Amino acid sequence: MRKFLLCFLFIILFFNCRSIGVQNIPEPSRILGCSRFKGPEWFRCLETLHERWERIESAAATITVLSESREGEYIRTKKRICWSENFCHMYDQVTYKPSYWQTLKEVFEIAVPSFAIGLLIGLSL
C-alpha cells in the first residue's frame, strides 16, 4: 500500500510539475488581434505580433514609407509592405523618438535642480 501511495504521489507530482517551464504565449487572432487579452497577456501578445512583423519585414518584401509625421515625442510612420504586385499590406508604426531639443530639455529639468540643491548644501556647510 505504501509503494502504491508513493508511486501515485510521484505520478501526480510529475504531471503537475511538467508544465512549469512551458510558457503559454498568447497568439493574436486574425480577426480580433490582441483585443481579447487583458493585463500581461496583452503585452505578451503584442510582443508576439511585433516579432512576427519583424520576421515579415526581413523577408523578401518591398517596404515603402508612405508618410512620416512627428506627434510630440513620437514619430508616426505609415508603411506599405508588398510581397507581390497583388499582395500588399498597409500599417502604422509609432516610435518613441524625442527630438534633440526635447532630450536636452529633459536633461536640464533633472540636472539644474540637482545642481542648485548641491550648491545650496555646499554653501551652507
Instruction: Indicate the number of domains in the chain.
Output: 2
Closest Cα partner for 47 from 19, 55, 64, 15?
A: 55
In a shared domain, residues 55 and 68: no
> 90 and 100: one domain?
yes
Residue 89 C-alpha cell reads as 499590406
Q: Which domain holds residue 70?
A: 61-109
Do 105 and 82 lie in one domain? The reply is yes
pLDDT value for 119: 92
Distance (Å, whole) CA 108 – CA 103: 9
Residues 81 and 53 both lie in one domain: no
Q: 0.75 cut: is pTM over it?
A: no
Mean pLDDT taken over the chain = 79
pLDDT tens-digit series, residues 12-48: 766 665 555 555 666 666 666 777 778 888 878 878 8
